[in-house]
């Protein structure tokens, strides 16, 4: 019998992982897996469990939000013998699950994890950290990791918007020197993101025909700092209409990107705090892990 390590975040999705635990385990068992269940207890618990024990299993599946998935992949990236992974999305936004077209119902997602096809996904490194779908700095990026879990559970996307509005008065442009696959840029930016997803925070959308999670390339979204109300309105219009080729909002594609600033910049990685750096190197590791989708 094959062995499956099932890691759950007990707090994700209004504690739905606990409620539906039996249903998910039964689906795994019905497909000839001996299941070991591991509930996480603290931040990075999932990463440590995968790093230490994944080699004893044929498949590792996590149930939680984008942060839980990040931890599972981060642990697997540190192993030589990387195992295939499944994902049952139960978070507040589940951006990567949207890009992977994973089912939203728990039973369907559990079934997909043991019957789906292998997908070799790119994984990013930001200095010494791993990320699956986004590394971002600037306006609103603190919102995702500063919003309390109970508020995320209760309000979903609205929680991010409410917390983001609180920070509007504190937004300051960030002067950054960027080198993307050898091409230099230098400007005052309100927001910047290196992404591999068609959904950002469940709000901004990217073209699913152009965004591929296995092509070794990232989309680099840069939003310049507007200097007056007219430019601010133009910036918002460009973002909401997905016009990413204007004077204030620009999107590029690159696999090796460096950010340099005279002061330290705070980063968000897959919705969690990712560290503060004055020099940031982001690299796309093509087809680094295997997901069952």
Q: Is the dihedral of CA 230, 236, 240, 245 positive or negative?
A: positive
Task: Measure CA of the first residue to CA of the last residue in the chain; give whole Å.
Answer: 22
- What three-state secondary structure class fits 284? strand
Listed in order, strand segments (DSSP E) in the chain are: 2-8, 33-39, 59-64, 85-89, 118-126, 129-131, 134-138, 174-180, 183-195, 199-200, 204-205, 218-224, 249-254, 256-269, 272-292
272 in active site: yes
* Cα torsion angle, 77, 78, 79, 80, sign: positive
Closest CA to 69 of 89, 55, 83, 53: 89
C-alpha–C-alpha distance, residues 74 and 88, integer Å: 17
DSSP structural state of residue 217: -
In a 3-state reduction of DSSP, which class is residue 46? helix
Q: How many whole angstroms separate alpha carbon 157 and alpha carbon 242?
A: 19
Q: What is the spatial distance between Cα 184 and Cα 231, in angstroms, rounded to a whole number?
A: 24
Phi, psi of 136 (to 5 degrees): -140, 155
Phi, psi of 249 (to 5 degrees): -125, 125
Residues serving a catalytic function are 272
């Amino acid at each position: 019998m094959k062995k499956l390590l099932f890691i759950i975040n007990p707090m994700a999705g209004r504690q739905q992982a606990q409620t539906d635990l039996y249903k998910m385990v039964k689906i795994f068992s019905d497909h000839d897996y001996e299941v070991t269940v591991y509930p996480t207890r603290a931040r990075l618990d999932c990463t440590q469990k995968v790093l230490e024990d994944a080699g004893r299993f044929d498949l590792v599946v996590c149930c939680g939000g984008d942060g839980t998935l990040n931890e599972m992949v981060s642990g697997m990236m540190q192993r030589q013998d990387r195992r295939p992974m499944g994902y049952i999305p139960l978070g507040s936004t589940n951006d990567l699950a949207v890009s992977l077209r994973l089912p939203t119902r728990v039973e369907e997602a559990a079934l997909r994890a043991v019957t789906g096809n292998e997908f070799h996904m790119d994984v990013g490194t930001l200095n010494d950290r791993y990320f699956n779908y986004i590394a971002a700095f600037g306006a609103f990026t603190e919102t995702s990791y500063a919003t309390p879990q109970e508020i995320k559970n209760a309000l979903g996307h609205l929680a991010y918007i409410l917390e983001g509005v609180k920070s509007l008065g504190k937004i300051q442009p960030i002067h950054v020197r960027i080198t993307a696959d050898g091409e230099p840029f230098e400007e005052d930016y309100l927001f910047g993101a290196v992404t591999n997803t068609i959904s950002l925070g469940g709000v901004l959308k990217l073209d699913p025909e152009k965004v591929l999670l296995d092509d070794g390339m990232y989309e680099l979204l840069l939003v310049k700092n507007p200097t007056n109300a007219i430019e601010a309105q133009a910036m918002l219009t460009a973002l909401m209409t997905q016009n990413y080729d204007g004077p204030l909002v620009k999107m590029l594609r690159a696999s090796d990107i460096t950010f340099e600033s005279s002061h330290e910049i705070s980063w968000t990685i897959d919705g969690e705090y990712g560290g503060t750096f004055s020099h940031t190197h982001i690299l796309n590791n093509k087809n680094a892990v295997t997901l069952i989708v």
